[in-house]
Structure 1
Amino acid sequence: MLKIPPGDFLGAIFDCDGTLADSMPVHYRAWVEAFKAHHAKFDFTWEIFYSMAGTGLEDSVVQLNQRFNDTLDPAAAVRSQMEILDRLHHEVTPIVEVVEIARHYAQAGKKVSVSSGGTYRHVHETLRQIGVHDLFPVIITREDYARSKPAPDCFLLAAERMGVPPSACLVFEDSHLGIAAADAAGMASVYVEPETYSRGSGI
C-alpha cells in the first residue's frame, strides 16, 4: 500500500518505468544482454542498475565507463539495448495499484501527466502496452527537456503543461533520483518501492 501524503493536490505526475509499468526487469535484461554483446568489463548487477534509475541512457553508459574504467561506445550500447528491449517489450505489465490511483485522480477531475526519462517512442509504446496511454493528456519524455533527474526539469515542464503550480503537484516515482527531482521542483512525492514490484517479477 502506497503512502499518499495529505494535501489537496490539483495535479499528479507519474514516472513511467517502474512506477506505472512493471518494466524494470525487462530493461535490466536488455542492458545485461547489450553489455555482454559489447564485451563490457564489469558485472552489471541489479543493484547497480536500480541505483542509476532515472539517468539518461547514454549518460548511464558514460558513468559506467568512468566507474569501471571501460571504453564502451555509449550510442552503440544504447542502440543494442533498445533493439533487445523491443524484442522483450511484450512482457511489460501494469503496476495495478499505481494505475488505479492515476485513474482515480483523472476521474476526480485532477490533472494527470507522465514525466519520464525514457524516449518518446519507448514511453508511448509502454503506456499503450499497459492500456493507459489515453488516460494522460500530458506526456513528457527525454526529448522534451535539457537536464535529466535529479534536476527538476521534467517535473516542472509537466506542471507547466498541466497548468498546475508545482506546489500543488504530487509526483509518483520509483527511483531516488526521481524523488530528488521532485524535491528540487518543490513537489510532494510518493515513493513506489521497487522491491514491491520489480524484484517480485523474477529478477
Structure 2
Amino acid sequence: MVKAVIFDMDGVLIDSEPMWQQAEYQVFRQLGVPLQLADTKQTVGMTTKDVAEFWYRQSPWQGQSLAETEAAIIAKVRQAIARNGQAKDGVVALLQQLQQQRLPIAVATNSAQVLMDTTLDTLGIRDYFAAHCCIEMVEQGKPAPDIYLLAASQLGVAPADCLVFEDSITGIRAAKAAGMQVIALPSEEDWQHEKFKLADGKLRSLLSFELMQYLSDDVIN
C-alpha cells in the first residue's frame, strides 16, 4: 500500500526534455562534437556530468573542462525553464489530491539543485513537497537507487511503501532498485518500447492516474 509519493522532475513535473536537448546540442556543437539534435536522446535520464563524459568519450574536445561544459548546459536549461517552464498536464491537480489525502510527497531528480529550485519556483509547486532531493545530495545518481532511498528516508516512509512517477528507463531502474513501485510516463514515441515493462504501470499522462486504488484504508479520509 502506498504511504508516500515521489516524483522525478524532468519529463514528469515539467516538459523540460526539449530544453535539455537544445542546450546539449548547442554546447556540444560549439565544442566540435558532431552530433545531431536527435542524438541527445541517447543520454536522457543521465546526470549532466555523465552526459558530458559520454560525449567527451565519443569526441574529445580541447579548451573547456568537463565541469565547465556541465555548467554551460545547466545555465542554458535554467534560463529556458525560468522563461518558459510550465507544469505538465495533471501535475498540480494530482499534487493537490495527494495533499488532501495527507500523503507525504518528494521530488527526486538527477538534475542539479539550481535546476530543481528553478523548476519548483517557476511552476509554483515547491510547498507541496516535504523533501527536495537532487544530484548533489547523493554519491551516485540514477540508475543507482541512492536518491530514491534518500527521499524515502526524508519522508520517513519505507521504500516498499513509496510510489514513484518516472519517464526514463534510467529512473525506473533506480526506483525498482530501491524496492519501490513505479509508474512510467513514456514519451509518445517510446510508448511501445519493451524497456518500460520493468515498471509496475504505464500512463500517457498524470491526468489518467487513479490515486484511490493505491491507498491503504488508514490513509483514505
- TM-score band, normalised by shorter chain: 0.7 to 0.9
Measure how far apart 1:137 and its partner are.
1.6
Measure how far apart 1:195 and its partner are.
2.7
1:73-152 equivalent positions in 2, closer than 5 A: 73-89=65-81, 90-152=83-145
Identity of aligned residues (%): 28
Structure 2 segments unaligned to the other structure (5+ residues)? 190-221
Corresponding residue for 1:185? 178
Q: Which residue identity is paired with 1:88?
A: A
TM-score normalised over the length of structure 1: 0.85
Measure how far apart 1:88 and its partner are.
1.9
Cα-to-partner distance string for 1:144-170 (whole Å, 9 max, x where unaligned): 100111110000000000000000000
Structure 1 segments unaligned to the other structure (5+ residues)? 1-7, 197-203
Select between 125-134 and 171-180 the one with higher mean Cα deviation.
Answer: 125-134
TM-score normalised over the length of structure 2: 0.78
Measure how far apart 1:117 and its partner are.
0.7
Measure how far apart 1:34 and its partner are.
0.9
Task: Return the alpha-carbon distance in structure 2 between the equivalents of residues 32 and 102 of structure 1.
Answer: 33
Judge conservation of contact 1:38–1:77 (CA < 8 Å) in 2. no
Measure how far apart 1:29 and its partner are.
1.0
Task: Return the alpha-carbon distance in structure 2 between the equivalents of residues 88 and 169 of structure 1.
Answer: 31
1:41-60 equivalent positions in 2, closer than 5 A: 42-46=34-38, 48-60=39-51
Measure how far apart 1:190 and its partner are.
0.7
Q: Which residue identity is paired with 2:130?
A: P
Corresponding residue for 2:147? 154
Determine helix, strand or coil for the equivalent of 2:164.
Answer: strand
- Does residue 62 of the first structure (1) align with residue 53 of the second (2)? yes
Measure how far apart 1:129 and its partner are.
0.9
Distance 1:160 1:173, change over 3 A: same
Which of 1 and 2 has greater Rg? 2
Name the count of aligned residue pairs. 186
Determine helix, strand or coil for the equivalent of 1:85.
Answer: helix
Q: Which residue identity is paired with 1:27?
A: W
Q: Which residue identity is paired with 1:94?
A: A
- Which stretches of structure 1, 4 residues or longer, exceed 3 Å deviation after superposition? none
Judge conservation of contact 2:29–2:35 (CA < 8 Å) in 1. no
Judge conservation of contact 2:105–2:131 (CA < 8 Å) in 1. yes
- Does residue 39 of the first structure (1) align with residue 39 of the second (2)? no
Determine helix, strand or coil for the equivalent of 1:186.
Answer: coil
Task: Return the alpha-carbon distance in structure 2 between the equivalents of residues 12 and 79 of structure 1.
Answer: 30
Task: Return the alpha-carbon distance in structure 1 between the equivalents of residues 42 and 99 of structure 2.
Answer: 31
